[in-house]
């Protein structure tokens, strides 16, 4: 079974709903404003518009792929179900006590995030499992019945059940779920042994609670969406992009909405991965910059890096620890409070600081002339000549250079500098913040950032990407076409996949191959069942990862394994795989210590559509310039005479020597003096460092 010929991807973001429709006639993309009251209405408008432009009937669409920030927003804005949480006696406050630390050391008035379920709605059962799933305290069925009655009488819209060590034995959680199902068949019930069967109570409880919290809402929304699509004559199956970067059926998504948390950004990473594959680039740094935040992801061998837990809904300047850690498979991204709307200020040491406060889209940067007065990154870019006041958003938003300078004036006065030097300080500081985050992320993964190629997309990225490459000593930068709707296009490139996870503790000096094989078989069956809903009969790949550490360490590292079943005597191979991964991350191993495995992850995935390989062009004829421009080149610390070229002129083999500005409606690409840009056969711009390409 191959892919349907016409497929459409729809991404609901905070401001826009993006669509990408691909068929025999090529790719059609579009944007409409997000409809907060009825998100599905904007989706239909977007799909119908795209279908018209492509000259097809909606009924010709063979597959709808959807991603949304709905789940994330419901959690951030606390618009979820009124719910109960049932846990083990003695552990009622796990989600409130969190990790018992403060994420900001010097703030005496620190406020910790409030738990999603208040204490009065958290109930406990007298039961206890041990770490190997042994029953230490049996659960009395009459207590289970009484609890079910109590919760149902409480009128809750959803219930989460999270018991200690339930990843190792789900019997008690199942008893509770069954009792609730019997008493109130329509009630939304999520249990931790299904939603996130992994070791560590805090993230597991957070995850099952987050799932229950959004489940009624997401399920209702997806139901409405399918109904609306059918009514519009679109009978195609609907799939959702999950946070791990693969597709799942609409039914799975309605049951496990917590898997959708990062679906939009994951689409962006797959978008970048598609270009990595087409261009044959092994190591890609995906860089997505919008109005408020920038996101960075490592993509190796055309696969975005994933993790099995992450932090959502950070409450304090994007600071690590200020959100809620959930354990669900996710494309690992670093998010920085740095975008076009980020506001510049001067701190008490007299230093220019940028973000994380943002002017957003309302009122927006001062130069938008919508009442904003604080200086933003966009204002700085305008002052430095990097933006054309009459060409922004294709001329739709006229920018006021005067207002930008006035806004920059306050910071300039405190600095004793000109507006232009201040603008340089602002953009340089924001570029520095992004570069530092990228460098640290690479270090944390044991990688050298210099070896990567950057793929930049999102409205703000092409303005900053070249300078970022200078700071990171990256030699090559790819700016794909359609970068404004990257996530929606990414949806079309995603495989069907499902990642099953399990907590199963295995010391390698007491490895139980039979037990492991039984568990892996169950995980594979689970994953395959989900993948079959979208890709039955297709060729699949299976990927097993063990999370391992030396005994005595507190955190595991992911260790990719080549085999997915084990026999006694396989321990040395497991140790060797661990040592290889450990060495790659930390540069050395420790002799004489025994490794152990805590959690397992098994992915079953279909093969994603193979993009046509692109033959990279590095030379050609000069492109035709529109007019001369002047902009401030950060590395040279001065204005440079540059040429402006329309992106449409950058046909394959067209070459522009920096300094140059390549303009299109959605954004402008700055080519600094140290880089040259070459048009590629697939419409990408390739920017190469001059000395590197010489």
Q: Is 461 helix (H, G, I), strand (E, B) or coil?
A: helix
Tokens representing 448 are 């050298």
Cβ proximity to another protein, 151 vs 494, nearer residue: 151
Q: Is 178 helix (H, G, I), strand (E, B) or coil?
A: helix
Tokens representing 381 are 């870019």
Cβ proximity to another protein, 496 vs 582, nearer residue: 582
Per the CB < 8 A criterion, the answer to whether 633 and 670 are in contact is no
CB of 310 to another protein, least distance (A): 17
Per the CB < 8 A criterion, the answer to whether 367 and 404 are in contact is yes
CB of 94 to another protein, least distance (A): 8
CB of 266 to another protein, least distance (A): 25
Cα 93 to chain centroid distance, Å, stands at 30
CB of 88 to another protein, least distance (A): 9
Per the CB < 8 A criterion, the answer to whether 333 and 321 are in contact is no
Cβ proximity to another protein, 505 vs 511, nearer residue: 505
Cβ proximity to another protein, 344 vs 650, nearer residue: 344
Cβ proximity to another protein, 29 vs 599, nearer residue: 599
Per the CB < 8 A criterion, the answer to whether 30 and 46 are in contact is yes
Cβ proximity to another protein, 521 vs 593, nearer residue: 593
Cβ proximity to another protein, 321 vs 683, nearer residue: 321
Cβ neighbours around 119 below 10 Å, total:
11
> Treating both helix axes as pointing N-terminal to C-terminal, what angle do 419-444 and 401-415 enclose, rounded to 10 degrees?
80
Cβ proximity to another protein, 2 vs 554, nearer residue: 554
E strand intervals along 172-233: 188-191
CB of 446 to another protein, least distance (A): 9
CB of 168 to another protein, least distance (A): 9
Cα 29 to chain centroid distance, Å, stands at 21
Cβ proximity to another protein, 118 vs 613, nearer residue: 118
CA distance 671 to 465: 9
Cβ proximity to another protein, 390 vs 555, nearer residue: 555
Per the CB < 8 A criterion, the answer to whether 660 and 626 are in contact is no
Nearest to 512 by CA among 410, 597, 621: 597
Cβ proximity to another protein, 34 vs 193, nearer residue: 193
CB of 506 to another protein, least distance (A): 11
Cβ proximity to another protein, 138 vs 394, nearer residue: 138
CB of 132 to another protein, least distance (A): 9
Look-up: residue for tokens 């909405």? Answer: 257
Per the CB < 8 A criterion, the answer to whether 237 and 357 are in contact is no
CB of 463 to another protein, least distance (A): 18
CA distance 129 to 646: 66
CB of 142 to another protein, least distance (A): 22
Cβ proximity to another protein, 53 vs 448, nearer residue: 448
Tokens representing 460 are 């703000």
Cβ proximity to another protein, 108 vs 231, nearer residue: 108
Strand partners, 465: none
Nearest to 57 by CA among 226, 225, 234: 234
Q: First CA to last CA across the chain, in angstroms?
A: 47
Nearest to 48 by CA among 37, 60, 65, 38: 60
Nearest to 581 by CA among 557, 545, 551: 557
CB of 87 to another protein, least distance (A): 10
| Phi-psi domain of 559 (left: phi exceeds 0; alpha: psi -120 through 50; beta: other) | beta
Per the CB < 8 A criterion, the answer to whether 652 and 680 are in contact is yes
138, 139, 143, 145: CA torsion to nearest 10: -150
Cβ neighbours around 370 below 10 Å, total:
14
Task: Output the CA angle 184-502-556, nearest 5 degrees.
Answer: 135
CA distance 265 to 583: 30
CB of 131 to another protein, least distance (A): 5
CB of 554 to another protein, least distance (A): 5
Cβ proximity to another protein, 473 vs 655, nearer residue: 473
CA distance 65 to 249: 9
CB of 58 to another protein, least distance (A): 50
3-class SS letters over 421-451 = HHHHHHHHHHHHHHHHHHHHHHHHCCCCHHH
Q: Which residues contact 543 (CB under 8 A, 6 or more apart)?
A: 560, 602, 603, 605
Strand partners, 676: 657, 688
Nearest to 534 by CA among 454, 604, 629, 638: 604
CB of 198 to another protein, least distance (A): 10
Nearest to 335 by CA among 261, 417, 418, 238: 261
Cβ proximity to another protein, 99 vs 621, nearer residue: 99
CB of 96 to another protein, least distance (A): 7
Instruction: Give whole-number Cα distances, 510 to 370, 514, 601, in Å.
Output: 67, 12, 20
CB of 592 to another protein, least distance (A): 5
Cβ proximity to another protein, 511 vs 550, nearer residue: 550
């Amino acid at each position: 079974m191959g892919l349907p010929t016409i497929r459409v991807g729809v991404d609901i973001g905070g401001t826009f709903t993006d669509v990408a429709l691909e068929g025999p006639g090529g790719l059609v993309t579009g944007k409409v404003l997000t409809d907060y009251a009825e998100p599905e209405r904007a989706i239909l408008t977007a799909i119908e518009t795209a279908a018209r432009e492509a000259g097809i009937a909606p009924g010709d669409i063979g597959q709808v792929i959807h991603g949304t920030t709905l789940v994330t927003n419901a959690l951030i804005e606390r618009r979820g179900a009124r719910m109960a949480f049932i846990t083990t006696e003695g552990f009622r406050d796990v989600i409130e006590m969190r990790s018992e630390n403060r994420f900001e050391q010097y703030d005496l008035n620190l406020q910790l995030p409030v738990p999603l379920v208040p204490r009065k709605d958290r109930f406990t059962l007298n039961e206890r499992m041990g770490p190997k799933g042994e029953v230490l305290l049996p659960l009395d069925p009459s207590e289970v019945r009484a609890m079910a009655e109590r919760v149902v009488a409480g009128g809750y819209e959803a219930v989460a059940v999270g018991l200690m060590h339930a990843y190792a034995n789900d019997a008690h959680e199942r008893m509770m779920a069954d009792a609730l199902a019997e008493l109130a068949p329509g009630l939304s019930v999520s249990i931790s042994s299904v939603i996130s069967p992994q070791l560590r109570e805090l993230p597991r409880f957070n995850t099952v609670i987050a799932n229950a919290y959004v489940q009624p809402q997401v399920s209702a929304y997806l139901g409405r969406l399918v109904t609306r699509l059918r009514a519009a004559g679109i009978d195609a199956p609907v799939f959702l992009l999950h946070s791990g970067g693969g597709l799942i059926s609409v039914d799975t998504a309605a049951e496990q909405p917590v898997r959708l948390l990062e679906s939009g950004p994951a689409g962006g990473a797959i978008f970048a991965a598609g270009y990595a594959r087409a261009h044959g680039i092994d190591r890609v740094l995906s860089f997505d910059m919008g109005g408020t935040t920038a996101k960075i992801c490592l993509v190796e061998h055309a696969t975005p890096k994933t993790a099995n837990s992450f932090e959502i809904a950070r409450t304090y300047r994007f600071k690590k620890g200020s959100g809620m850690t959930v354990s669900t498979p996710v494309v690992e991204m670093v998010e920085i409070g740095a975008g076009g709307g980020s506001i510049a200020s001067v701190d008490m040491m007299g230093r220019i600081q940028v973000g994380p406060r943002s002017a957003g889209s309302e009122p927006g940067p001062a130069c938008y002339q919508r009442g904003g007065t604080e200086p933003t990154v966009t204002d700085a870019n305008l002052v430095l000549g990097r933006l054309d006041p009459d060409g922004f958003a294709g001329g739709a938003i006229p920018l006021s250079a005067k207002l930008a300078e006035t806004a920059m004036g306050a910071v300039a006065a405190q600095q004793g500098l000109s507006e232009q030097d201040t603008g340089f300080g602002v953009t340089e500081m924001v570029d520095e913040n992004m570069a530092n985050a990228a460098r640290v992320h690479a270090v944390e993964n044991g990688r050298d950032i210099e070896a990567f190629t950057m793929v930049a997309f999102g409205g703000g990225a092409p303005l900053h990407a070249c300078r970022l490459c200078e700071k990171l000593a990256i030699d090559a930068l790819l700016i794909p076409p359609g970068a404004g709707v990257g996530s929606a296009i990414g949806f079309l490139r995603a495989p069907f996949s499902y990642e099953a996870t399990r907590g199963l503790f295995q010391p390698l000096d007491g490895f139980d191959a039979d037990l492991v094989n039984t568990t892996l078989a169950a995980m594979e069956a689970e994953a395959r069942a989900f993948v079959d809903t979208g890709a039955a009969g297709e060729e699949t790949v299976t990927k097993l990862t063990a999370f391992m550490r030396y005994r005595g360490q507190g955190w595991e590292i992911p260790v990719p394994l080549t085999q997915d079943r084990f026999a006694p005597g396989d321990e040395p191979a497991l140790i060797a795989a661990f040592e290889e991964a450990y060495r790659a991350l930390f540069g050395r191993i420790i002799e004489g210590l025994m490794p152990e495995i805590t959690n397992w992850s098994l992915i079953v995935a279909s093969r994603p559509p193979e993009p046509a390989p692109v033959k990279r062009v590095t030379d050609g004829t000069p492109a035709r310039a529109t007019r001369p421009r002047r902009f401030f080149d950060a590395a040279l610390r001065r204005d440079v005479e540059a040429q402006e070229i329309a992106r449409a002129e950058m046909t394959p083999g067209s070459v522009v020597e920096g300094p140059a500005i390549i303009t299109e409606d959605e954004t402008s690409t700055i080519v600094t003096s140290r880089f040259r840009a070459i048009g590629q056969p697939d419409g990408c711009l390739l920017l190469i460092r001059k000395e590197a390409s010489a």
